Amino acid sequence: MSNNAYSNGNGGERTGGPAAPASTDVGTSLSPSVAFALLADERDRFALYVLAAQEVSVPVDELVTRVTALENETKPASVTQKMERRTRTRLCHSTLPKLTSYRIATRDADAVELTDRGEQLQPYLEFSKERERRYVQALLEQHGE
């Protein structure tokens, strides 16, 4: 099995992040291996930066725009609908379900918010930010993330 493949619990493999845990597998603390696995994917990491910078829930549309801006190394005001389309699909169908399955975030129809368990990612997010490309670091600082 490669470093990017994770068992899905059914004998198969899937790529792109840790397998979703069974509800009994998720304790209150977050292991370093799970934290780093969640941060390994750039889009997931960018979403976590945005969520961690807020003390309240973030509207899904705003999350999509801000993650798209980070991915494209541009300002949120410069993001187009075409740029957002792919980001929205992956956030809504992969990233956000993964974060909710790990109880890192909660989501309702319109907004996403980190949970107390998600707050445990803060030291890992700081570690990751220090290693981001310079332009991404500047965008994060500019938007208080």
Give the amino acid at 132.
Answer: E
Residue 20 within a domain: no
Q: What is the pLDDT of residue 130?
A: 80
Residue 17 within a domain: no
| Domain count along the chain | 1
Give the residues across from 105 on adjacent strands: 114
Give the residues across from 58 on adjacent strands: 112
Q: Encoding tokens for residue 47? A: 């979403």
For residue 3, CA distances in Å to 7, 11, 13, 90, 112 come to: 11, 17, 11, 21, 29
> Three-state DSSP class for 14?
strand
* Residue numbers of the domain that contains 48: 30-142
pTM: 0.76
Q: What is the pLDDT of residue 138?
A: 74
Residue 44 within a domain: yes
Q: At what angle do helices 32-40 and 122-129 cross, to 10 degrees?
A: 40
Residue 48 within a domain: yes
pLDDT at 33 over 60: yes
Domain harbouring 74, CATH code: 1.10.10
pLDDT at 95 over 80: yes
DSSP state, 104? S
pLDDT at 27 over 70: no
Q: What is the pLDDT of residue 13?
A: 34
